[in-house]
Chain A
Amino acid sequence: MVNLSTKIAGIKFANPIFTASGCFGHGKTYGKFINLDKLGAVVCKTITLDARQGNKPPRIADTSGGMLNSIGLENGGVDNFIKTVVPFLKKQKTKAIVSVAGNSEREFTEAVKKLNKVKIISALEINISCPNVVHGKVKGLFSQCENETAKIIKAVKKVSKKPIIAKISPNVTDITIIAKACEKAGADAICMINTFQAMGVDIRTRKPLLGNIMGGLSGPAIKPIALKMVWEVYNTVKIPIIGVGGIMDWEDAIEFILCGASAVQIGTANFVNPTACTDILKGVEKYFKENKIKNINELKGKIKL
Chain B
Amino acid sequence: MKKQICKIISNKKISKDIFLLELENKYLAEKSKAGQFVHVLVPAQNAEDKAPFLRRPFGVNLVDKKKNKISLLYKVIGSGTKLLSQTQKGDALDVMGPLGNGFEIKKAKEHIIISGGMGIAPLMQLVKEIKEKKAGKIHLYLGAKDKNEIVFVSYLKKLADEIVITTDDGSIGEKCLITMPAEKLLKQNLSAKIYACGPYPMLKCVAGLAKKYKIQAQLSLEEKMACGVGVCLGCPIKIKTKQGDIYKMVCKDGPVFNAEDIIW
Contact = CB atoms under 8 A, between A and B. Distances in A.
Interface of A: 22-25, 29-30, 32-33, 45, 53-54, 56-67, 69, 71, 74, 219, 268, 270-275
B41 interface: yes
Interface string B1-30: 111000000000000000000000000000
Nearest to B3: A274
B51 to A, nearest CB: 10
Give the size range of B's interface with the partner. Answer: 20 to 34
Contact of B53 (A45, A56, A57, A65): A65
Contacts of B234: 59-60, 69, 71
B38 to A, nearest CB: 13
A25 B233 CA distance: 9
Contacts of A62: 52-54, 224
Contacts of A59: 224, 233-236
A58 B232 contact: no
Contacts of B52: 62
Contacts, number: 84
A275 B247 CA distance: 27
B196 to A, nearest CB: 20
A54 B247 contact: yes
Given A22-B232, A53-B247, A54-B236, A60 B226 contact: yes
A67 B247 contact: no
A224 to B, nearest CB: 16
Given A22-B232, A29-B229, A54-B233, A275 B3 contact: yes
B31 interface: no
Interface string B205-240: 000000000000000000111111111111111000
A75 to B, nearest CB: 9
B84 interface: no
B96 interface: yes
B263 to A, nearest CB: 12
A67 B3 contact: no
Q: Give the 5 A-B CB pairs with smallest separation, nearest first.
A: A60-B234, A271-B226, A271-B227, A25-B231, A60-B224
A54 B247 CA distance: 8
B190 interface: no
Contacts of B139: none
Contact of A274 (B54, B225, B229, B247): B229
A304 B16 CA distance: 57
Contacts of A60: 54, 224-226, 232, 234-235
A33 B226 contact: no
22 contacts: A23-B231, A25-B231, A29-B229, A54-B233, A57-B223, A58-B223, A58-B224, A60-B232, A61-B224, A62-B52, A67-B53, A69-B226, A69-B234, A71-B234, A74-B236, A74-B247, A270-B227, A271-B54, A271-B226, A271-B228, A273-B41, A274-B3
